[in-house]
Homo-oligomer: A and B are copies of this chain.
Amino acid sequence: MKSHTVYRTFNTGRRREFVRITEDVQQAVDDSGVSEGLALVSAMHITAGVWVNDDEPGIQADALEWLDKLAPATWQEPPNDVARELLPDGGDYRHHRGGEDNGDAHLKNLLVHHQVILPVTDGRLDLGPWQAVFYCEFDGQRNKRLVIKVLGD
């Protein structure tokens, strides 16, 4: 069995950002020499996710607006009454007692999930026509790491 591990570091200009990484993962597959296997793509932080979806800016803007309602931040005004009620009772995350302000990013990470597994067939990521891979930063502007691990023959 062949194995190849690549780490990538992100430092996004904005606090929240979607970064396309399909080509990085394919490059890791190429470098692994794996023809049949899989590629694990996993954020190494707990305030970032990995998402397979269409590379269409409207979807990403829709998703971020919606995530801000379902898992509201405290460093901005809640966007509506539903978001206000989905904030912690009392208004602030318990997690913030340690000085953090990213409680919402932990919940967004839960919703988006922090990893995907991509099948590798004939040396290529075996994706559907609209499937692209994104690193989803929810608390950026600092170094955050991602691991790509390719396994197979």
Interface residues, chain A, with chain B CB atoms under 8 Å away: 1, 3, 5, 36-38, 40, 42-46, 51-54, 56-59, 61-63, 65-66, 69-71, 79-83, 85-86, 88-89, 93-98, 103, 106-107, 109-117, 119, 121, 126-128, 130-131, 145, 147, 149, 151-153
Nearest first, the 4 A-B pairs at minimum CB distance are A44-B128, A58-B94, A3-B36, A58-B95
Chain B's closest residue to A54 (CB) is B46
Q: How far is the CA of A45 from the CA of B69 in the complex (A)?
A: 25
6 contacts between A and B (CB under 8 A): A53-B106, A62-B107, A63-B107, A66-B86, A111-B111, A121-B149
Residue from the list B63, B81, B83, B86 in contact with A106, Cβ < 8 A: B63
Q: How far is the CA of A9 from the CA of B97 in the complex (A)?
A: 34
Q: Are the CB atoms of A95 and B44 closer together than 8 Å? A: no
Q: How far is the CA of A90 from the CA of B53 in the complex (A)?
A: 23
- On whether A58 and B145 interact (CB within 8 A), knowing A65-B89, A89-B65, the answer reads no
**Residues of B contacting A69 in the complex (Cβ-Cβ under 8 angstroms):** 85-86
Q: How far is the CA of A52 from the CA of B38 in the complex (A)?
A: 21
Q: Are the CB atoms of A152 and B86 closer together than 8 Å? A: no
**Residues of B contacting A106 in the complex (Cβ-Cβ under 8 angstroms):** 53-54, 59, 62-63
